[in-house]
Amino acid sequence: MLANMSSREFTYWQAYERISGVLGQERDDILAAIVAERVTTMLQGKQKGKRTKQWQISDFIPKWGSTKPSGERKRMAPEQMKNKLLALTKAFGGTVKNRDE
């Protein structure tokens, strides 16, 4: 399916999934969260003498639609976004081509 999908369509699906939640069964997230909570609790139990957090299954369920609560979000101007993307591109070893090239 991905072989026949354009980059633009794939981007649209990513955006849709980010807003509406995972495409597929929501219970898969819950099942994965149960496993993650159990493993984390089990591994934490081995740390003797340390105070450990009481984990909940909800700690491991993805919150779709937003990576930060709206109060924590900082709006960026277009120039700030551009500079951040340029920095990330360089940090990951990418090159930046000007439109004139």
Q: Per residue in 19-72, pLDDT tens?
A: 877 677 677 888 899 999 999 888 876 666 666 778 899 999 887 765 555 556
- Entry pTM: 0.42
> How does pLDDT run across 9-33, given as a tens digit for each residue?
888 888 888 887 767 767 788 889 9
Please tell me the distance from the alpha carbon of residue 97 to that of residue 90, in angstroms, as a whole number: 12
Residue that the structure tokens 């072989």 belong to: 3
Write out the E strands in 12-79: none
Q: How far is CA 94 from the centre of its chain?
A: 21
Contacts of 56 (CB under 8 A, 6+ apart): 37
